[in-house]
């Protein structure tokens, strides 16, 4: 039995969905894309083009939701399947788009550089329980206009895992699509075996900006999967209650699912979220709050009830350093996410309200992820019964350390964390240098970087990526790419 957490009764979930539909039909949404408004009008929505507003209909909602796939697969750069997003299957990815990087030498946050990103991409490529990479932070040493694409370029160049990303502009999307195509070969091949998911989120309350709605439609048409990480802030931009926030969140996220289906029926979409309570003491948006976990778990249940695969920003922390707060918030979020069955969990590595990525934290979080995934595998009898022969063996041999049963099932039954989590007794720990967790994380990150191997692309792929990215940088006044140290 897979252990599963549930927070909503059937009645409450249905009520939240009904309230969301009422918002979509009764209040409608601000939609700043003419193309999106046109699509909605074509499918029966009432549209105020001048006011850039649309009111959905019940029939339109039903038809669009029916068209959305309940699950889809993701592939690495070589076309090997890595993800099956649906059911209660869970996959982790580092949280995306931090503007700061935690400097491992100073322990302070600073603007990231290419070298930081390369280090990150190399490390994430070597973490088996982190199924996808993400464009986790924004290197500041290229022109602003290409920073979204540059993250993707660096990720593709150094790591073959599928990538969770997003464009900052319509032009950025076109460039990013080009980069993906260089790796995959053709638009059809990219659609057939997608290896990127783009984040496209509405603006709470009830608004789609032109850029994000255009990105959403472009992705749908191109067959590129989308996640919709809607970000209501309970008590500020959404009702103070979890239930009320879930209703607004559902309306906004459903609207994205619907728009994608109108653009391309069957478009692959993750019903996502990055909700948080608004901390009225500090004017911040805590991702490590209990209410955040409740909202994330709740939105997952709503998404599953709508027969959609899901995503949420969980397993991350608001701490400013690799400290106990970082561990406890990340750990609790990861457990709730995994036991809820959220299909794509975006979080590892992130600190400070999604503002700061840390490679060392990512390495620690990988251990947390491993423990959480083990928890989700639950309790499974493995040739255990009748148990008496085994106990007789124990009584006779005095231990079961090398019993056939132990040797056969040890690897499946016991999860052994890597070198980050200290499990030696105190004396051994002292003898081996009495290292602290941040030291071990640093050492492990260095070791992973040292053991990194470049993706096994043909040389033309690397050359094509460099050529396209260099051209984009030149168009914005930077003649050469920063040193990749490759």
Partner 1 sequence: MELLEQIADQLEKGQAATVAQLTTEAISAEIPAAEILNGGLIAGMDLVGEKFRKHEVFLPHVLLAAKAMHAGMELIKPLLMRDGVRRVGKAVLGTVRGDQHDIGKNLVGIMLEGAGFEVLDLGTDVAPERFVEAALAGGATVIGMSALLTTTMPVMREVIELINERELRGRLRTVIGGAPVTEDYAREIGADAYAFDGVSAVDRIRDLVAGGPGLLGGP
Residues within the interface to partner 1 (CB under 8 A): 398-399, 401-402, 406-407, 410, 419, 425-428, 431
End-to-end CA distance of the chain: 46
Structure tokens at 86: 């649906």
DSSP lists the bridge partners of residue 163 as 133, 196
- Strand order in 100-102's β-sheet? 109-110, 100-102, 356-357, 350-351
Least Å distance between CB 406 and partner 1? 7
Comparison of 106 and 427: residue with beta carbon closer to partner 1: 427
Least Å distance between CB 316 and partner 1? 29
Smallest CA-to-CA distance from 59 within 73, 45, 75 is with 45
| 3-state SS class at 446 | helix
Q: What is the DSSP letter of 145?
A: G
Least Å distance between CB 460 and partner 1? 39
* Total residues found in the chain within this entry: 486
Least Å distance between CB 370 and partner 1? 16
Least Å distance between CB 424 and partner 1? 8
Comparison of 281 and 414: residue with beta carbon closer to partner 1: 414
Least Å distance between CB 408 and partner 1? 11
What are residue 349's phi and psi, to 5 degrees? Answer: 90, -20
Smallest CA-to-CA distance from 372 within 413, 412, 337 is with 337
Least Å distance between CB 414 and partner 1? 10
Give the torsion through C-alpha atoms of 316, 195, 340, 277, to 10 deg. 40
Comparison of 42 and 431: residue with beta carbon closer to partner 1: 431
Comparison of 1 and 411: residue with beta carbon closer to partner 1: 411
Comparison of 379 and 411: residue with beta carbon closer to partner 1: 411
Comparison of 379 and 402: residue with beta carbon closer to partner 1: 402
228 neighbors 200 (Cβ within 8 angstroms):
yes
Comparison of 264 and 400: residue with beta carbon closer to partner 1: 400
133 neighbors 163 (Cβ within 8 angstroms):
yes
Comparison of 59 and 431: residue with beta carbon closer to partner 1: 431
Smallest CA-to-CA distance from 202 within 231, 174, 179, 222 is with 231
Smallest CA-to-CA distance from 167 within 186, 185, 180, 184 is with 180
Comparison of 355 and 406: residue with beta carbon closer to partner 1: 406
Comparison of 174 and 424: residue with beta carbon closer to partner 1: 424
Least Å distance between CB 419 and partner 1? 7
With 0-12 / 13-18 / 19 or more C-beta atoms within 10 angstroms meaning exposed / middle / buried, residue 17 is buried
DSSP string of 460-482, one letter each residue = HHHHHHHHHHHHHHHTTT--SPP
Report the alpha-carbon distance of residue 68 to residue 198 in Å, rounded: 16
Within 10 A of 455 (CB to CB), how many other CB atoms are there? 18
Alpha helices in 242-387 (DSSP H): 242-263, 290-305, 324-340, 359-377
Least Å distance between CB 430 and partner 1? 8
Least Å distance between CB 398 and partner 1? 6
Least Å distance between CB 367 and partner 1? 15
Cα dihedral across residues 303, 304, 308, 314: positive or negative: positive
Whether residue 28 has a cis bond before it, omega within 30° of 0: no
């Amino acid at each position: 039995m897979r252990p599963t957490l549930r927070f909503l009764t059937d009645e409450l979930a249905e009520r939240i969905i009904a309230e969301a539909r009422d918002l979509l039909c009764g209040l409608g949404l601000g939609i700043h894309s003419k193309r999106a408004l046109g699509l909605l009008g074509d499918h029966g929505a009432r549209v105020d083009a001048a006011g850039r507003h649309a009111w959905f209909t019940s029939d339109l909602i039903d038809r669009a939701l029916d068209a959305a796939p309940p699950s889809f697969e993701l592939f690495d750069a070589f076309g090997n399947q890595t993800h099956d997003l649906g059911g209660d299957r869970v996959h982790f990815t580092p949280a995306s788009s931090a503007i700061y990087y935690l400097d491992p030498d100073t322990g302070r946050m600073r603007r990231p550089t290419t070298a930081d990103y390369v280090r990150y991409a190399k490390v994430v490529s070597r973490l088996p329980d982190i199924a996808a990479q993400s464009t986790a932070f924004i290197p500041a040493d290229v022109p602003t206009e290409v920073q979204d694409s540059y993250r993707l370029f660096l990720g593709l160049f150094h790591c073959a895992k599928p990538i969770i990303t997003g464009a900052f502009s319509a032009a950025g999307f076109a460039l990013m699509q080009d980069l993906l195509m260089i790796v995959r070969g053709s638009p059809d091949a990219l659609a057939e075996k997608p290896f990127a998911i783009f984040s496209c989120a509405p603006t709470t309350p009830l608004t789609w900006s032109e850029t994000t709605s255009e990105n959403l439609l472009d992705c749908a048409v191109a067959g590129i999967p989308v996640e919709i990480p809607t970000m209501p802030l309970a008590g500020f931009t959404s009702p103070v209650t979890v239930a009320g926030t879930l209703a607004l969140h559902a309306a906004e996220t459903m609207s994205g699912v619907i728009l994608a289906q109108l653009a391309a029926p069957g478009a692959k979409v993750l019903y996502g979220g990055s909700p948080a309570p608004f901390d009225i003491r500090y004017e911040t948006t805590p991702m490590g709050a209990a209410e955040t976990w409740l909202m994330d778990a709740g939105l997952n249940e709503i998404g599953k009830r709508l027969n959609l695969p899901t995503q949420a920003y969980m397993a991350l922390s608001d701490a400013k350093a690799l400290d106990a707060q970082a561990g406890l918030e990340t750990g609790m979020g990861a457990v709730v996410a995994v036991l809820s069955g959220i299909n794509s969990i975006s979080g590892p590595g992130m600190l400070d309200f999604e503002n700061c990525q840390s490679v060392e934290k990512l390495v620690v979080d990988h251990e947390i992820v491993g423990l959480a995934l083990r928890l989700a595998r639950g309790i499974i009898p493995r040739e255990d019964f009748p148990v008496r022969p085994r106990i007789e063996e124990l009584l006779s041999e005095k231990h079961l350390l090398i019993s056939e049963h132990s040797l056969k099932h040890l690897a499946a039954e016991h999860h052994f964390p890597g070198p980050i989590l200290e499990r030696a007794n105190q004396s051994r720990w002292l003898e081996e240098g009495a290292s602290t967790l941040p030291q071990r994380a640093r050492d492990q990150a260095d070791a992973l970087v040292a053991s990194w191997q470049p993706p096994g692309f043909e040389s033309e792929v690397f050359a094509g990526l460099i050529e396209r990215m260099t051209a984009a940088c030149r168009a914005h006044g930077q003649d050469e790419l920063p040193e990749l140290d490759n």
